[in-house]
């Protein structure tokens, strides 16, 4: 049995996680370039 709500929740969490990871990696790269 499929659970549309669960699938949607997982998809949303995955999307948010990717967005947060992207911001964190960009922030680290930005700081690194500024420090250098």
Instruction: Look at residue 24 in the predicted model and tell me its pLDDT.
Output: 86
Instruction: Look at residue 5 in the predicted model and tell me its pLDDT.
Output: 94
Instruction: Look at residue 2 in the predicted model and tell me its pLDDT.
Output: 74
CA distances for 17 relative to 3, 20, 33, angstroms: 21, 5, 24
CA distances for 1 relative to 6, 7, 12, 31, angstroms: 11, 12, 20, 47
pTM for the whole structure: 0.55
More confident residue, 9 or 35: 9
Q: What is the pLDDT of residues 1-33, one digit of tens each?
A: 678 899 999 999 999 999 999 888 887 666 666
Give me the half-sphere count of Cα atoms (radius 13 Å) on the Cβ side of residue 5: 0
Q: How far apart are alpha carbons 3 and 28 in whole angstroms?
A: 37
More confident residue, 5 or 36: 5
């Amino acid at each position: 049995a499929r659970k549309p709500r669960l699938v949607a929740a997982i998809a949303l969490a995955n999307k948010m996680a990717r967005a947060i990871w992207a911001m964190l990696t960009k922030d680290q790269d930005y700081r690194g370039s500024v420090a250098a």
